[in-house]
Amino acid sequence: MSHSNTAWIITVVALASAATLALWYFAPQTEQPPDVAAPVIPAPDDIPPDKPLHPLHTVSDGESYSLVDLPPLNDSDGYFALALADVFGNDIKDLLVKSGLIEKVVTTIDNLPRSHVAERVRPLQRIPGSFQAELQDGEDVFTIRPQNFARYEPLVDLVTNADIDHVVATYRRFYPLLQQAYINLGYPDGYFNDRVVEVIDHLLATPQPDGPVLLTRPHVLYEYADPDLEALSSGQQLLLRMGEQNALRMMKFFRDIRSRIA
């Protein structure tokens, strides 16, 4: 298990991405594996159907008469950052990367079901501090310290306290740019909202172990003592690492998002 990060996601997601963005923000700094090549081109069996499984009602011309036109994708960072601040509060602006924001949101969401997300494609800055675990007396295993869960709470609050309708409205508003970034990622026939729903379902399937999660440290990095937990995706491991209460709050947010976009 590499303690790479960010969640919120929020996977999410800022939008449907809000949760994802939140998740990735709280990754531990000291347990970082080397970057790997980001997005994997889908295999032939993964090519999506001609029509989306979950068509999204985007903002129509009639609804957007009071809004300025969306900028080009490569000139959207400032505009998108302001929209996220309007949804989640001004504190979010200091956490966001300064360039390629929409592209990194899309890439992070797409990679949550995989084993690792390279730091260079994450949409949020890293939090100061490091992952905290403690050795169990008389055993060669560790548990995650409760203080580590507290590191996640501010951003979990930021995400889960946001108005869900505002989150989804912003997602709909920026969906054309999110879809363009998804196509540019290597999915010319893909539909980003289908991928968001798929990733949300994947995160909602994260197992919740009974009792403390045990870790081992065979080398520099911690690993889950349970091989089934060690085999989980990076997104699912993040939910485990943030603690049960934070994870349950995030899962409720995912379900609320899903009910509005699927």
In this structure, is residue 70 part of a structural domain?
Answer: yes
Both tokens assigned to 150: 């507290």
96 vs 139 pLDDT, higher one: 96
Question: What per-residue confidence (pLDDT) applies to 49?
Answer: 54
Average of pLDDT values for 152-164? 91
In this structure, is residue 139 part of a structural domain?
Answer: no
Using pLDDT thresholds of 50, 70 and 90, give the confidence band for residue 127: low
- In the block, tokens 């592209």 appear at 103
* pTM, to two decimals: 0.79
Average of pLDDT values for 196-211? 94
Residue of 143, 141, 142, 107 whose CA lies nearest to 24: 107
In this structure, is residue 197 part of a structural domain?
Answer: yes
Question: What per-residue confidence (pLDDT) applies to 34?
Answer: 38
In this structure, is residue 136 part of a structural domain?
Answer: no
In this structure, is residue 157 part of a structural domain?
Answer: yes
Using pLDDT thresholds of 50, 70 and 90, give the confidence band for residue 11: very low
Boundaries of domain holding 173: 18-129+147-210+233-261
* Rounded distance between C-alpha atoms, residue 244 and residue 37, angstroms: 31
In this structure, is residue 159 part of a structural domain?
Answer: yes
Instruction: For residue 10, give every residue at least 6 positions away whose Cβ sits within 8 Å of its Cβ, in sequence order, or none.
Output: 17, 18, 19, 20, 21, 22, 23, 24, 25, 124, 155, 159
How many domains, in total, are found in the chain?
1
- In the block, tokens 């409720």 appear at 252
The Cα-based distances of 213 to 23, 32, 210 in angstroms read 18, 20, 8
In this structure, is residue 250 part of a structural domain?
Answer: yes
Using pLDDT thresholds of 50, 70 and 90, give the confidence band for residue 14: very low
In this structure, is residue 9 part of a structural domain?
Answer: no
54 vs 137 pLDDT, higher one: 54
